[in-house]
A and B are shown apart, each in its own frame.
Chain A
Amino acid sequence: MFEHNDPNRIQLNSNGQLRHFLTTEGLSRELLTEILDTADSFVDMGAKQIKKMPLLRGRTVVNLFFEASTRTLSTFELAAKRLSADVLNLNISTSSTSKGETLKDTLMTLEAMHSDMFVVRHADSGAAHFIASQVTPHVAVINAGDGRHAHPTQAMLDMLTIRRHKGSFEPLKFAIVGDILHSRVARSQIHALRTLGACEIRVIAPKTLLPRHIEAMGVKVFTDMRQGLKDVDVIMMLRLQKERMTSALLPSESEFYKLYGMTTEKLAYARPDAVVMHPGPINRGVEIESAIADGPRSLILDQVTNGIAVRMAVMSMAMSGQMVEKQLQQSASAAH
């Protein structure tokens, strides 16, 4: 009963090309590699004096952010502008919207303005899937973070950063550290790393910050940093929200820092050439020591640079996937 097709198929057109980017789950290794290759070419372009290219010229991209964001919103905006799109930024606080109704209404209003792409951030898991299921055909949806579910562009910029530093994924061991329970970044990283062939993926957190049966996602679970970081090549830190202290998940920031904060002492547990990543914004002295965040083994600023390139890549790929789909449907109806 209800043997549905893979719900993540909605991301692909009939040729198997990207038309929305909602999650890294269920996408093939070839497709993820294509995103990385495309992004790679944009990284080099960003270093040039003239940074624009016309891939989205005449297109309207709406950044629809129901959650506050500075970094993600600005890199999406910059990415769209470098692709020559017209960009509309909308910051809509969820607290002022009633459940569901407003999201659908907002969407319908924006559609009436003939937008071509929605970049969506929302506090509810599944919001991007919901929007992709509701939009007019040929409008692309890019997930800029939905609840605890997925943040696929963040995961792919992490993958790009890793590939540019380490060359490949297969021989490497990864550790994701911190608030796994609430992290959409961790989930998207895990799916991407598995598909790209990572040798081993670990999560390290106290039990209050580990979702139930996370091992079913193909990771090894550790609650101790010394054991969890042993032989690790890449350490991916997560952001810790202050409200975790008040919701009985953690006793204090200082205790968390002592046990799970990335310090010079703990970095020594990992491989000597291990690198440290963080999706930002960082809480110095809570998740990470300043000496590490600013040190030679930190890739944090590379992540930001690569973020623009990855967002340009998925935006141009999704738009092109929608165009191909439109042409396929037109030729199919012409044949009838």
Chain B
Amino acid sequence: MNIKIAGGRVIDPSQSLDKICDLYISNGVIAALGDAPAGFVPDSTLDATGQVVCPGLVDLCAHLREPGATHKGSIAQESQAAAAGGITTLVAMPTTSPIVDTPAVAQLIQDKARAAGKTRVLPMGALTQGLAGEQLSPMHALASSGCIAFTNSRRPIRSSLVLMRCLEYAATHDLLVVFQAQDAELAGGCMHDDTTSTRLGLAGIPEAAETVEVARCLMLIEQTDARAHFGQISCERSARMIMEARERGLKVSADIAVHHLLLSDSNVNGFDSNFHVIPPLRSQLDRAGLRQALLADGIQAICSDHQPHDPIAKQAPFAATEPGIAGLETLLSLSLMLVEQDVLELPQLIAKLTWEPAQVLGIQAGTLAPGAPADICVFDPAAHWTPSAATTRSGGANSPFMGMELRGQVTHTLLGGTTVFQR
């Protein structure tokens, strides 16, 4: 099967490429860019004139809700949502029920994802058994069963000794450890601790809830020489600490959820539970600092931190609602606002959504280099659309961006050369 994607603006940061050219796919693999390979006869041609052709997006954090919470979302539904959002690889969190601390659960998730066939799902394994923060999980067995990295999610590992052992063991097998840094006691509130929380009387989560844990993790990463990544940081101070650690030579990286680059704690004014997220939306100063860090390469990736919910989960007083935003379908469009607001150039943004997150994971993805799997996102940068509960493919319509006109819309998503989404 030969496919030609003709006339699009091809942006591939892995090759520092940004030009209008044709792209050739043969048997599910990128065959060539620009000139057709010898003897190439396309079976089909996709006219991408006026559109951007880039690698399929790599999303470092998504909650698929299966197994265990299929009233909120399922692997099949969320995979469809991912495909509609141009995401061809996503990392699924281990906080399912049962938790991903046995190879069987990791296998189950991958089997279901393969059956859905819309996006590549890479499960993350639990760092400790049952995420209880006490015993090491069977990391080697989990990695052999397809777990791409290991995290304790936001569940605490109170003992620094246990945390150090986790890092040492992961380093033994060169496995990536992902931290969603949060001090459990300091993070007891439901929004950023500042003037808005004070006025609304909502219990605050101070910056220290994140920075204290980032600092502890960094010291132990340094001690153990482990490979680690900080997911969804929310404070400028965390970004600076991680950047300094990188400069010292630590093998660390970081990502941020797109909503933390666009919103701030003042949006909670009015108790709208769609703005209830963990880590909480921080101050406008944090948002500005995090945008700077993105530009200064202190943050490698932008993710969706997709957390679909059933409607009832958000229908309660603010603190009693479940945190999280469903974001697979809007990841690209929301990220494009950063280009519109002159934070990043388009190729820089694409890098944060494709090549750089793939590098964090150490996988062959997020690239259009010849020989790579033809995971491709084609989007119309000028198209306007409005996400709505009626049209979302995800199990959750919980997003403050529902009903808001966005710019930039995915038109085609290819997974290994197969069209998995087409508008």
Contact = CB atoms under 8 A, between A and B. Distances in A.
Nearest to B337: A1
A147 B316 CA distance: 13
A2 B265 CA distance: 12
A99 B320 contact: yes
B317 A127 contact: yes
Interface string A144-162: 0011111000000000000
B309 to A, nearest CB: 11
Interface string B376-414: 000000000000000000000000100010000000000
Given A125-B201, A211-B198, A217-B199, A101 B270 contact: no
Contacts of A212: 193-195, 197-198, 204, 206
B115 interface: no
A124 B320 contact: yes
A146 B317 contact: yes
A129 B316 contact: no
Contacts of A1: 262-263, 404
A187 B197 contact: no
B267 A2 contact: yes
Nearest to B185: A248
Contacts of A48: none
B204 A122 contact: no
A184 B202 CA distance: 10
B321 to A, nearest CB: 6
B312 A101 contact: yes
Interface residues of A, number: 31
B201 A130 contact: no
A46 interface: no
B318 A126 contact: yes
A184 B201 contact: yes
B199 A187 contact: yes
B193 A4 contact: no
A214 B199 CA distance: 8
A150 B200 CA distance: 8
Contacts, number: 95
B317 A7 contact: no
A212 B195 CA distance: 7
Nearest to B198: A211
B319 interface: yes
Contacts of B193: 212
Contacts of B321: 99-100
Given A7-B271, A212-B197, A100 B318 contact: no
Contact of A122 (B195, B199, B262, B317): B317
A103 B201 contact: no
A293 B269 CA distance: 38
A125 B318 contact: yes
Contacts of B316: 99-101, 103-104, 124, 130
Given A104-B312, A212-B194, A216-B195, A149 B201 contact: yes
A336 interface: no
Interface in B301-329: 312-313, 315-321
Interface residues of B, number: 29
Contacts of B199: 25, 187, 216-217
B267 A125 contact: no
Residue from B271, B313, B321 having most chain A Cβ neighbours under 10 A: B271
Nearest to B319: A124
B269 A125 contact: no
Contacts of B317: 100, 103, 122, 124-127, 129-130, 146-147
Interface string A42-67: 00000000000000000000000000
Given A100-B317, A130-B316, A216 B198 contact: yes
A216 B196 CA distance: 9
A2 to B, nearest CB: 5
Interface in B257-307: 262-263, 267, 269-271
B374 to A, nearest CB: 36
Contact of A213 (B194, B203, B269): B194
Contacts of A101: 312, 315-316
Contacts of B197: 211-212
Contact of A126 (B200, B267, B312): B200
Interface string B212-230: 0000000000000000000
A125 B200 contact: yes
B398 to A, nearest CB: 13
Residue from B197, B315, B317 having most chain A Cβ neighbours under 10 A: B317
Nearest to B313: A100
A187 B201 contact: yes
Contacts of B271: 7, 125-126, 129-130
Given A149-B200, A149-B202, A100 B195 contact: no
A184 B200 CA distance: 9
Given A125-B317, A212-B206, A100 B201 contact: no
Interface in A189-234: 211-214, 216-217
B320 to A, nearest CB: 5
A130 B321 CA distance: 11
Contact of A4 (B194, B203, B269): B269
Given A2-B400, A212-B194, A7 B269 contact: yes
B315 A125 contact: no
Contact of A148 (B201, B269, B404): B201
Nearest to A25: B199
Nearest to A9: B270
Nearest to B318: A126
A210 to B, nearest CB: 9
A101 B195 CA distance: 29
Nearest to B202: A125
A103 B194 CA distance: 28
A184 B201 CA distance: 7
A145 to B, nearest CB: 10
B418 to A, nearest CB: 36
Contact of B201 (A2, A134, A150, A216): A150
A185 B256 CA distance: 38
B194 A124 contact: no
A279 to B, nearest CB: 15
B201 A147 contact: yes
A125 B319 CA distance: 7
Contacts of A122: 317
Nearest to A101: B312
A217 B201 contact: no
25 contacts: A1-B263, A1-B404, A2-B400, A7-B269, A7-B270, A100-B321, A101-B312, A124-B316, A124-B318, A125-B200, A125-B201, A126-B271, A127-B317, A130-B316, A130-B317, A130-B318, A146-B201, A148-B201, A148-B203, A211-B197, A211-B204, A212-B194, A212-B198, A216-B198, A217-B199
**Which 7 pairs from chain A and chain B are nearest by CB?**
A100-B316, A148-B201, A7-B270, A149-B201, A126-B271, A124-B317, A211-B198
